[in-house]
A and B are shown apart, each in its own frame.
Chain A
Amino acid sequence: MRDTLNRTFKHWSLLPAVLVFLLLTIYPIANLVRMSVSTIEFSGGVARWSFTPLSNLQLLIGDTVLGAAAVNTTVFVTVAVTAEMALGLGLALLVARLARGKGLARTVMVLPILVPAVAIGSMWKLIYNYDFGVFNQALTAIGMMPVNWLGSTKVALIAVIIVDIWHWVPFVFLILFAAVEGVSPDVIEAARIDGATNRQITWRIIVPLLKPALAVALIFRSILAFKTFDEVFLLTSGGPGTATELVSLHLYKVFFEQNQLGYGALLSLAIIAAVIAFLLVSRKALPQRGMA
């Protein structure tokens, strides 16, 4: 028994993980293909499939909300990730040059990453509240009109972007700060001996050395921002109207509110294809060993 386990260890050690991926990711994606050409209805708790290859395509073409969701998602990802990269980098470079406060910064910055996104949504629901939220209390205190942060079509998208920035600047900070601390002291010493100023050392030496970490942070944040669901579900559920409707929220609604499993599958396949295309394009920017 023991000998057999030893001899076959190479193979059975990888087997469970392969099985998990086959059964819970590959098979469901294959199933998405079948679903995307079907209409699925439930009668008496049993799923009934009918082969209707064109009807889901028609739903896709006629889906006006999807267009709004795509635009919102693009704005959301672009603005949020740009702000997160800039603020995260600035903070990492700053904290590295302070004698104290490194440990404090690290401890505090990990918190938003680790608490449930739903709890973060709850926090900001209280903060943004029209009647008693802290922002509107501050505005009225200085004699300005309160803002309907989550209920106005003009402000709501900005409001959820602010939450995302708050949530994820710390993540960018942690990655870049670790990279800044990894910069060899010799390099900086050499530059100083050559007469470089602090500003030159920062922008011509340290920041270029951070490129791999910057690439990882940028790619990861872009994709995670694209997947954002929890906080926005809690804050606005996509409203008012379609002002904060994101692709992820729309997919959820198609699947589980409109019960269009076939069309939802088609949408899912499109999203998966888009993610893979993005990964292939950005692969060159990833450092050699990547996340492995």
Chain B
Amino acid sequence: MGPGVCRDDKPVGHRVSAELNAMPLAGRDRAIGYALLALAVLCVVGPFAWILMSSFKHQIAILTGAWSFTPTLSNYTEVLFGRRSDFAGNVANSAIVAASSTVLVLVIGTLAAYSLYRFKWARWVTAGFLGWTLVFHMIPALTLVGPWYLAFRELGWYDTLAGLVLTHVTLNLPMTVWLMMAFFREIPPEIDEAAIVDGCGPLEAFWYVALPLAVPGLIAAGVLAFIFSWNEFAIALNLTARDTATVPVAIARFAQQYEVQHSQMAAAAVISTIPAVLLMALGQRYIVRGLTLGSVK
């Protein structure tokens, strides 16, 4: 029952695919194939490159559409440290909300997933719970923002980070439960049962046996929950005010001003993509697996 037994396993989606090497493209087809792939990659990367370039331009260089320009960091310093900018505060708000909602949703979601996977619940409990996670996941969050707004005003949670954290926990709970259930299912039941035979209680079997084996799942679910919370806009727009606004809300403000602050909007948008790019670099295989899991199984 050593921890991390599964850590070196290759995620499912990454199995080396021998099958289609049975029909590789050859000759002219292969050249066209690589050209199309290059085009697709260029289409995806292009807009990122364009905004990255814009973020190093003075507003005037953006407005004239100049291709050659002297790069400047002034947009970044202006956005992060400028006296008229709250953006540093927005980054702090987003970080606090994303981190706390991720920790909470991992605890709540993992416990629920283990409970549904391991214990014999009546069918209506399992079906009802999982059915509701699917329905709720599909409903536009905006339909619930109205009642949340009314309730939070009454409770004094409107315009607080804690209130926003709760809504983000709710939003990410379905995905966390599905992912963790899928990862728990891959643990052979004999391992759990052996622990019980050895005198572990159900809580100990969960804590010492199942949880360590599900660490890749925790990483996948945690990274995705963090990113989705960091990116979330529709709820934050309506449940926060100036002091509690998150990064996406701040970027929208740059874009919505009468005179659009293109250079600062670009710099702020580039900063907002940093967590996704960083986490991507660190845990790509977990993320891709998390995003595609369930659809392939």
Interface residues, chain A, with chain B CB atoms under 8 Å away: 2-3, 5-7, 9-10, 13-14, 16-18, 20-21, 24-25, 27-29, 31-32, 35, 40, 45, 47, 91, 94-99, 101-102, 104-127, 129, 131-134, 137, 166, 170-171, 174-175, 178-185, 187-189, 192, 198, 201-202, 212-213, 216-217, 223, 226-227, 229-230, 233-234, 237, 248, 251-252, 255-256, 261, 264-265, 268-269, 271-272, 275-276, 278-279, 289-292
The 5 closest A-B pairs by CB, nearest first: A6-B201, A185-B19, A132-B65, A17-B112, A28-B147
Q: Are B201 and A255 in contact (CB under 8 A)?
A: no
Q: Are B201 and A3 in contact (CB under 8 A)?
A: yes
Smallest Cβ-Cβ distance to B263: which chain A residue: A126
Q: Are B22 and A185 in contact (CB under 8 A)?
A: yes
Q: Are A17 and B272 in contact (CB under 8 A)?
A: no
Hey, which chain B residues are within 8 Å of A102, CB to CB? 17
A32–B151 alpha-carbon span in the complex (Å): 11
A75–B54 alpha-carbon span in the complex (Å): 32
Interface residues, chain B, with chain A CB atoms under 8 Å away: 12-13, 15, 17-25, 30, 33-34, 36-37, 40-41, 43-45, 47-48, 50-51, 54, 62-65, 107-109, 111-112, 114-116, 118-119, 121, 125, 129-130, 132-136, 138-151, 153-154, 166-167, 169-170, 173, 177-178, 181-182, 201-204, 206, 227, 230-231, 233-234, 238, 247-248, 251-252, 254-256, 260, 262, 265-266, 268-270, 272-273, 276-277, 279-280, 284, 287-288, 291-292, 294-297
A157–B147 alpha-carbon span in the complex (Å): 31
Q: Are A178 and B292 in contact (CB under 8 A)?
A: yes
Q: Are B295 and A17 in contact (CB under 8 A)?
A: no
A102–B297 alpha-carbon span in the complex (Å): 21
Hey, which chain A residues are within 8 Å of B108, CB to CB? 16-17, 20
Q: Are A189 and B201 in contact (CB under 8 A)?
A: no
Decide if the interface of chain B is mainly helix, strand, loop or mixed: helix
Instruction: Find the residue from A95, A125, A181 having the highest chain B CB count within 10 A.
Output: A181
A-B contact pairs, 30 of them (CB 8 A): A5-B201, A9-B203, A97-B24, A105-B40, A111-B276, A113-B291, A114-B280, A115-B231, A115-B272, A115-B277, A119-B251, A119-B270, A121-B255, A122-B268, A134-B50, A166-B47, A174-B288, A174-B292, A178-B12, A180-B17, A183-B19, A185-B18, A201-B23, A213-B295, A227-B140, A233-B233, A251-B140, A251-B143, A291-B134, A292-B130
